Amino acid sequence: MANDRDIIIACDFKNTDETIKFLDRLTRIRDEVVVCDDIMSGAGRPYVKIGMELFYAEGPAIVKKLKERGHRIFLDLKLHDIPNTVKKAMQILGGYGVDMVNVHAAGGIEMMKAAKEGLMIGAARFADKPKLIAVTQLTSTDEEALHSQLLIDKPMNEVVRQYALNTKKAGLDGVVCSAFEAAEIHAACGEDFLTVTPGIRFKDSAADDQKRIMTPAEAKLAGSDFIVVGRPITAADRPIDAYQRCREEFL
Ligand code: C5P
């Protein structure tokens, strides 16, 4: 069965003030607090991603604050350590009530299983259990670095596929990958295995530092379950319009 699609806004801001300023702008139209009922109220508030910079600057308080405002949260900390350490850390993160967290699949199946165990212990009191996903290969690692630095001989697509299969075997919910890989990952791991895909740009927006990009509409056709969109929304003149455009193309 296909998964519910959603858009996750990457809140790559330095601190709480900047983040809240942006989210206030997103929910305001022409300086009045005019919110679009369907997308801005209650459970419909945008799904947001908190990354390392913001989390390390502000700590768990930022998670609490955004949850109180009604956002669902993907806490993108990409854990990678020995199984016991990851299990204990995940237990803490699970207690924050986040909706999605991640690890590096390179940590191996045992580490991913431990991550899931810890997360579920931490999230025991929540009815909605958080999703746990894994990063396959960072999109900043190219084929050349894979071979010459990591000494992995197999082609990138085989490595990504194997890491996705390992992730599924460990009982996780899905992977972070490029939208270009979503179809192959679904073919290998099943339609209900989540593909969470950054590298999204509108037809007319700058690629910035992203190399392999797709529009929200193309990502939908490619089978992405979640798109992670940062600058096309956060740096837009009117973030609300950019977010609406993503919704129109992707949902
Ligand atoms: O601004 P932009 O849309 O490029 O933001 C994409 C977000 O997704 C950033 O937070 C980035 O760190 C994250 N990401 C990525 N590529 C990956 C994994 C995460 O762009 N492979």
User: Ligand 1 pocket, 62 CB below 6 A?
Assistant: no
Residue 79 has pLDDT above 80, yes or no: yes
Residue 192 has pLDDT above 60, yes or no: yes
Instruction: Note down the domain range covering 229.
Output: 6-250
Kindly list the distances between the CA atom of residue 218 and the CA atoms of 85, 144, 156, 196, 198, in Å, as whole numbers in the listed order. 39, 27, 22, 14, 13
Q: Report the distance separating Cα 3 and Cα 194, nearest Å.
A: 7
Work out the average pLDDT over 53-68.
Answer: 97
φ/ψ region of 10 (left if φ > 0, alpha if ψ in -120 to 50, else beta) reads beta
In a domain, 191, yes or no: yes
Residue 10 has pLDDT above 50, yes or no: yes
Q: How many CB atoms lie within 10 A of CB 25?
A: 15
Q: Give per-residue pLDDT as tens, 144-168.
A: 999 999 999 999 999 999 999 999 9
Confidence of residue 41 (pLDDT cuts 50, 70, 90): very low
Residue 226's DSSP bridge partners are 6, 196
Q: What is the pLDDT of residue 191?
A: 97
Q: Atom 8, ligand 1: which residue's CA is nearest?
A: 198
Q: Which atom of ligand 1 is nearest to the CA of 139?
A: 21
Maximum CA extent, the chain: 57
In a domain, 147, yes or no: yes
User: Ligand 1 pocket, 228 CB below 6 A?
Assistant: yes
User: Ligand 1 pocket, 230 CB below 6 A?
Assistant: yes
Cα of 106 vs its chain's centroid, Å: 17
Q: Atom 14, ligand 1: which residue's CA is nearest?
A: 198
Q: Which atom of ligand 1 is nearest to the CA of 178?
A: 21
Residue 87 has pLDDT above 70, yes or no: yes
Q: What is the pLDDT of residue 199?
A: 95
Burial (CB < 10 A; 0-12, 13-18, 19+), residue 141, is: middle
* Domain count along the chain: 1
**Mean pLDDT score of the chain:** 93
What CATH number does residue 29 fall under? 3.20.20.70
User: Ligand 1 pocket, 213 CB below 6 A?
Assistant: no
In a domain, 1, yes or no: no
Q: What is the pLDDT of residue 36?
A: 52
pTM: predicted TM-score of the whole model, two decimal places: 0.94
Q: Which helix (H) or strand (E) holds 82?
A: none
Q: Give per-residue pLDDT as tens, 196-239.
A: 999 999 999 889 988 889 999 999 999 999 999 999 999 999 99
Residue 29's DSSP bridge partners are 32
Work out the average pLDDT over 12-29.
Answer: 90
In a domain, 41, yes or no: yes
Burial (CB < 10 A; 0-12, 13-18, 19+), residue 65, is: middle
Q: What is the pLDDT of residue 31?
A: 47
Confidence of residue 42 (pLDDT cuts 50, 70, 90): very low
Look up 169 and say whether it is catalytic: no
